Amino acid sequence: MRIRTHPTTDPDSSVPGSIPTPSLRNAYAGRRVLITGGLGFIGSNLARRLVRWGAQVTLVDSLIPEYGGNLRNLAGLQGRVHLNLSDVRDRHSLPVFVRDQHFLFNLAGQTSHMDSMNDPETDLEINARAQLSILEACRRHNPAIRVVFASTRQLYGRPDSLPVNEDHPLRPVDVNGINKLAGEHYHLLYHRVHGVRSTVLRLTNTIGPRMRIKDARQTFVGVWIRALLEGAPFEVWGGEQLRDFTYVDDCVDGLLLAAASDAAAGEVFNLGGPPPVSLLRLAELLVAVNGGGEFRVRAFPADRKKIDIGDFYSDWSRIHERLGWKPRTTLRAALAKTLAYYRKELAHYL
C-alpha cells in the first residue's frame, strides 16, 4: 500500500474561495432550510447552528427506532423549528416538504453496514429509491433548491493508497455502500441534467454529542462511550486499523460551506479529521480523557471482517482548497466534549 502525506499544516484563513463566518451566517439568516433525518445526530446539530443563525428550519424524520432519530436531540429547540414526523420513503409527502425551501440538507439514511447485509431491501428503499423520490420532488416542485447530500467514505472500499482522495476507485464492500453510491449518482445526475444544484460530501467517522450510543448502528465509538460511562469494559476489535474522526461541529461547518458556495455545486468532497490514529490508540486516549476505564482487545469477528475496509483516512485537501474548510477540533477535544455531554444526558440515549 502506498502512503501519501496527509495535510497537517494549519491552513491560512485567506484560502481562495473560503467564506468568512459572518458572510456564511448571512447566507442562512431568514432563509428556509429543510433537513431530512433532522432528529438524527448530524441533522440535529446542524439545526441548532441554523437556528442560532436565524434560519427557518424544518425537520423531517421517521423516528424509526433502529435509526438515529431522538426527540431529546431537540431539547431547547422546541417552538424554534418545524418538525414533521414522516418517512422519506413516502414520496407523496415530499412535494409539500421541498416546496418553497431555499436549502435541503439530505441526511436521511440507513447507516448500519451489518443491517444492510441482513436486510438489503430496506437499505435499498432508504438509501437509493427514496433519494430518487426526493430529487424528483425537487425537480418538479422546487428546481432552484440548493441540495447537499451526506454520503460516506465506505463506498471507496479497501483503499489502494492513503490518505484517500476523491479520485480513488469506488468499490463498496457492502450493500450500504452500493446503495449510498447510487444515491450519490442520482444527486450528481440531477445536477447535470435537471439543474438541481447538488453537492456530495463523503463523511468519515463523525463523532460528538447526540450520536447514537445504545448500539453500533451509527458508530462503534458510541458503544465504547456508553460502556465507559456505565463502568463496563469495551471491546476493541483488532486494534491496528487506522481511522480518522470528524467532530460534529466541523462536519456542520462543511455542510454549511458546501450549501452556500456556488463553486461547490456538482462537486464531491471528502471530509476528514485530525491525523489518523489506530483503534488501540483511540481506546487508550478515550480512557485517559475519561479519567479511567477498561477495554479488551479481541480478534475481529468473522462476519464483520468480511466487510471491513482496513486502514482508512481521508484526504480533505480538495474541500480546503476550494471552500476553505478544515477540521478545527482535535481528537482529544472531540472525545472530551462528547464524554461531557453524555455524562449529563446518558439516560436519554439508552
Side-chain-side CA neighbours of residue 79 (13 Å): 1
Given pLDDT bands bounded at 50, 70 and 90, which one contains residue 66? Answer: confident
- C-alpha cell, 312: 482508512
18 pLDDT band, cuts 50/70/90, is low
Task: Quote the cell numbers at residue 67.
Answer: 435509526
Closest C-alpha among 152, 175, 176 to residue 164: 152
| C-alpha–C-alpha distance, residues 100 and 260, integer Å | 17
**pLDDT band with cut points at 50, 70 and 90 for residue 2:** very low
Mean pLDDT for the stretch of residues 86-98: 91
pLDDT attached to residue 7:
39
The span from the CA of 317 to the CA of 272, in Å, is 9
* Mean pLDDT in residue range 205-229: 93
Domains of the chain, first to last: 2-208+246-273+314-328 (3.40.50.720)
Rg (CA), the chain: 19
Q: What is the mean pLDDT of residues 291-302?
A: 91
pLDDT of residue 344: 98
Q: Which of these ranges, 26-40, 44-58, 120-134, 187-201, has the smallest mean pLDDT? A: 120-134
* 190-213: average pLDDT: 97
Determine the Cα–Cα distance for residues 337 and 208; give it in Å rounded to an integer: 7
Residue 13 has pLDDT above 50, yes or no: no
Cell of 313: 483516512
Average per-residue pLDDT for the chain: 91
Cell readout for 219 is 458508530
List CB contacts of 76: < 8 A, sequence separation 6 or more: none
Q: Can you point out the beta strands (E) in 238-321?
A: 242-243, 245-247, 268-270, 277-278, 295-298
Contact at 8 Å (CB) between 100 and 142?
yes
